[in-house]
Amino acid sequence: MENGLRWIAGVYDVGYTFTLCEGITPQELLVRMGADPSHIHELTEDAVAELQFRPEDGLPSDLEFPDREDEDLVARLEEAGFLSRPEAIVRAGAVPGWAYAIENFSCRATSCLEALSHGTRAYTVFRSGAGMQQVGYARAGEVLAYYEPQSPSQGHTAAQATVPGFTHTGEEVPDIAFLRFLEQELGIYIAWEETLAPLPTAAFARACP
């Protein structure tokens, strides 16, 4: 895929949250979101999709992942909450200078911006399955902006706190415009193929605490 981040909006078309946090590791990002360090496991995108989209009447034993013969792994995943229908499963990775997190349809990070930004800065973009789109920015433990972007023609006011440097002109839908802004402002590029590999992952009983 040619673009650096905008592919996220197409791949996660049922809704997503994408978060960037400067100068920390993926594991630290998950811990700041509330994960127990001992409950972080490296999972692939396919494994997470199977865990998230199993039928309502499906049992853990029906899953192809994990290998049921690996009783130790199954026990550790159960203890970490992956097999108990968590509200959010968050995968985290790294690019030079930044850690990132991707959530498929959940929004755990949006309520953790303050914690994520302690001693650093963090950006997030959320799109719900119903089409709601929100962006946020926090620095040094303070959320400085969190809002639904509007183009000038929709009545956006200068008094509203906004993400520094980001202007939504209305030429693109807000989340794609924000992903483009992050590409250009921060020079962030994440290869889609790399996100399919095992990445540090945590399960959360609640998506938005």
DSSP SS3 for 116: helix
Residue 179 near residue 9 (C-beta atoms within 8 A): yes
DSSP SS3 for 145: strand
Q: Which amino acid is at 51?
A: L
pTM value surpassing 0.85: yes
What is the sign of the dihedral through the CA atoms of 35, 37, 41 and 45? positive
Task: List the alpha helices (DSSP H) in the chain.
Answer: 7-11, 26-32, 45-52, 71-79, 113-116, 174-186
Query: Which residue bears the tokens 């183009």?
Result: 151
Q: Which amino acid is at 186?
A: L
Q: What is the pLDDT along the chain (209 residues), one digit of tens a residue?
A: 457 999 999 999 899 999 999 999 999 999 999 999 999 999 999 999 988 887 766 666 667 766 666 778 888 999 999 988 899 999 999 999 999 999 999 999 999 999 999 999 999 999 998 889 999 999 999 999 999 998 554 555 555 689 999 999 889 999 999 999 999 999 999 999 999 999 999 999 977 76
